[in-house]
Amino acid sequence: MAIADSLSVSCIDAGPENPQQTLLLLHGAGGRNNQWQDQIGYFSDRFRCIAPDMRGHGHSDFPVADYTLNEFMDDLDRLVDVLQLPERFVVVAHSFGGALAITYAATRPERVAKLVLIATSTVIPLNPMLKVLFAMPPWLLDLARRAIPGRISCPARVLRKFIPGAVFPWNGWGLLPSITAPTLIILGERDRVVPRDSAMAMTTQLQNCQVEIVRYAAHMPILERPAAVNRALERFLEERVRSWRGTIEEVRGA
């Protein structure tokens, strides 16, 4: 699907003719849209589920670009227009997709009915090993990338720009007070990429926030514990909140 003269994106668009809600699903850095397959399979009988591959990821184009946050935001605006999303819709994001989601919800609050942030935070710390990885020549980085099957969907030339230039400098702390949409934060109990303290700190700045901890999950709860994630999403989307002892923490508006 072309969203600009020089850019086509791959996008899953599934749902009934008259959906109850529209969900825009944003994958993280190095991810791709089929990581949402369990959520799309579960919700697309009731909701319209839209899951794009970001530029440089999956089956979308790999343009010569800087791969900055602003470029991804421009792509998102075009996607919303081309697909004629309703006036208000739900944004669901994983990891660095949360940078787009937070920025979108803060700067376009009239469009976001609800916001879901999965395994994300306002900062994503740079592991020292990754500094070494991104200093590799592109051919060697591509070899390392291929050694992680199914997890990294963009080539070395994109990674070398996108990760050090956009992902790790990201800091969205100042945007949180501008978010008016009810927000659900979902965290993996064993996540080693996004520190829980960093993610939980967001609750002090968000106006209307709930938190759910998914047990036995790490940084990819949408793949590791999809049924648990779907239950959490369903409760939030249908505005029913239940507590399961030892598995859920809830924080309401600060």
pLDDT digits (tens, 9 = 90+) for 4-26: 777 899 999 999 999 999 999 99
Element spanning 75, H or E: helix 69-82
CATH topology of domain 2-237: Rossmann fold (3.40.50)
pLDDT in tens, 187-214: 999 998 888 898 899 999 999 999 999 9
> Residue 183 — very low, low, confident or very high, per pLDDT cuts 50/70/90?
very high
* Tens digits of residue pLDDT in 89-143: 999 999 999 999 999 999 999 999 999 999 999 987 655 555 566 666 666 666 6
According to DSSP, the β-strands at 48-52 and 11-14 are antiparallel
Q: What is the pLDDT of residue 169?
A: 83
pLDDT of 50 above 70: yes
CA 194-199-202 angle, 5° bins: 155
What is the strand order of the sheet 11-14 is part of?
A: 11-14, 48-52, 22-26, 89-94, 112-118, 183-188, 209-214
Contact status, residue 241 vs residue 248, Cβ threshold 8 Å? no
Q: Are strands 183-188 and 112-118 parallel, antiparallel or unpaired?
A: parallel
Q: Average pLDDT, whole number, for the chain?
A: 86
Residue reference for tokens 């934060």: 185
The domains of the chain are located at 2-237
Region of 28 please: left (phi>0), alpha (psi -120 to 50) or beta: beta
| pLDDT at 187 (0 to 100) | 96
